[in-house]
Chains A and B, each alone.
Chain A
Amino acid sequence: MSLPALVEPAPELTVDEVRRYSRHLIIPDVGMDGQKRLKNAKVLCVGAGGLGSPALMYLAAAGVGTLGVIDFDVVDESNLQRQVIHGQSDIGRSKAESARETVKEINPYVDFRIHEEHLDSTNAMEIFADYDLIVDGTDNFPTRYLVNDACVLLGKPYVWGSIFRFDGQAAVFWAEHGPCYRCLYPEPPPPGMVPSCAEGGVLGVLCASVGSIQVTEAIKILTGIGDPLVGRLMIYDALEMSYRTVKVQKDPECPICGKNPTVTELIDYEEFCGVASTDAQEAALGSTISVTDLKEMMDRGENFYLVDVREPHEYEIVRIPGATLIPKDEIISGRALAQLPQDKPIVLHCKTGGRSAEALAALKSAGFSDASHVQGGVTAWAKQIDTSLPTY
């Protein structure tokens, strides 16, 4: 399926622009016409992180005239393994500002706009309205459903990509011409079921593999060349080194782009995705201790059983002294319950407190009433109690 170009051409290219973009101009399919369309195009990238880094850099280099980024985060050292738009000297700086500097160095002709705010249901429509196409590089489900819904309501193409460890998925969701994100995944997985990259890790270069697919699709749609990834899902497996596509049809029952839509305006996406499960929230209520509390309990010589619910390879990186490793799934499935003492309090911790809250809910429902979990996990321990320890 080919589609007409999304953007009208700019009136002209300057002499400098002709020199800069010559390798595009001599491709017959792109040519002066395609390059002028890129110049006139306005693209918003949601997030200047793993996918946003290569996306913004290649969109800028390609000559997209107006490039926006929305990100309110700051650069952390652990970002640099994959977020190549930022560098060592950017640690602690705003990601949006850091991205602006890199883009300016790549292509000074780009009008770069930054939105340093949290994207939510109150501002998404207004921010998106100024752009022709949205590239998604966010790291969480609520924002992905928000971006999808805003794009459907505004009729804009949504160039989507997501990554985990060695696996990537990409697609163009465009309700006018094919399915949307909800047609593929009507709801997110239950909270705690699918780890984020911060919990599960991601091969840095995977960002480039998937981000470059997104940029390729953006360029094709803006200029009207080729066969866009509309109605198809690209599945990339870095370990097998395979790219495959499967067909995705519009779901007539889709709640936002189907025949009888029930979602007609933006909703509360944190609630929709149930960010922390209700069970976990209830279990954690009144049973959450700080790392300072934990240190005091240790210093007083209190008799309790400290359980680290992370995975073995995380335990290898850094651990709280005295903790016994029992991965969360072992607790939730019930397999590890027999290992736990009945006669003393149990304290659970993980990396930052999400998984330990899930495990706490399972323990409480299994009858372990004297159990608690550590807010902020081993990360808070390394930052507040023993700063010689690494964070990851």
Chain B
Amino acid sequence: MKVVVNGTPHEFDEDATVATVVRSFTHAPSGVAVAVNDAVVSRGDWETTALHDDDRIEVLTAVQGG
């Protein structure tokens, strides 16, 4: 399945979930938010949120600066 993560195309298995993408992008899931097609998926739903072809995924990192 082809999805776009942070603007770049990526290939994932058909059963990939939001959690799969997070694991492939960062070692530490805390401090990370994920949006699929412009809507943030709550942390508790990562494992059960399936991805579909052409989904646009945004992996965001919390920053602390002010």
Contact = CB atoms under 8 A, between A and B. Distances in A.
Most B C-beta atoms less than 10 A away, residue of A167, A202, A246: A246
Given A184-B33, A194-B31, A246-B35, A189 B62 contact: yes
Interface string B29-55: 011110100111011100000000000
B42 A249 contact: yes
B66 A141 contact: no
Interface string A18-58: 00000000000000000000000000000101111000000
A253 B41 CA distance: 12
A185 B31 contact: yes
B44 A162 contact: no
A164 interface: yes
Contact of A251 (B30, B35, B44): B44
A167 B65 CA distance: 10
Contact of B30 (A139, A189, A247): A189
A34 B3 CA distance: 46
B28 A190 contact: yes
Given A184-B40, A253-B44, A193 B66 contact: no
B42 A253 contact: yes
B65 A193 contact: no
Contacts of A167: 63
A183 interface: yes
Contacts of A194: 31, 61-64
Contacts, number: 97
Nearest to A273: B64
A182 to B, nearest CB: 10
B60 interface: yes
Contact of B40 (A136, A141, A162, A249): A249
Nearest to B7: A240
A163 B32 CA distance: 15
A196 B63 CA distance: 8
A168 to B, nearest CB: 8
Most B C-beta atoms less than 10 A away, residue of A137, A141, A189, A197: A189
Given A184-B40, A233-B40, A246-B38, A141 B62 contact: yes
Most A C-beta atoms less than 10 A away, residue of B31, B35, B38, B60: B31
A169 interface: yes
Contact of A169 (B38, B44, B60): B60
B39 A246 contact: yes
Given A47-B66, A202-B65, A247 B28 contact: no
Contacts of A136: 66
Contact of A188 (B31, B35, B40, B65): B31
A187 interface: yes
Nearest to A189: B31
A163 B65 contact: yes
Given A188-B31, A190-B31, A141 B44 contact: no
Interface of B: 28, 30-33, 35, 38-40, 42-44, 58, 60-66
Given A139-B65, A194-B64, 18 more contacts: A50-B65, A139-B64, A140-B64, A144-B64, A161-B66, A162-B62, A162-B64, A187-B31, A188-B64, A196-B64, A197-B66, A235-B60, A246-B39, A246-B40, A247-B35, A248-B39, A249-B39, A252-B42
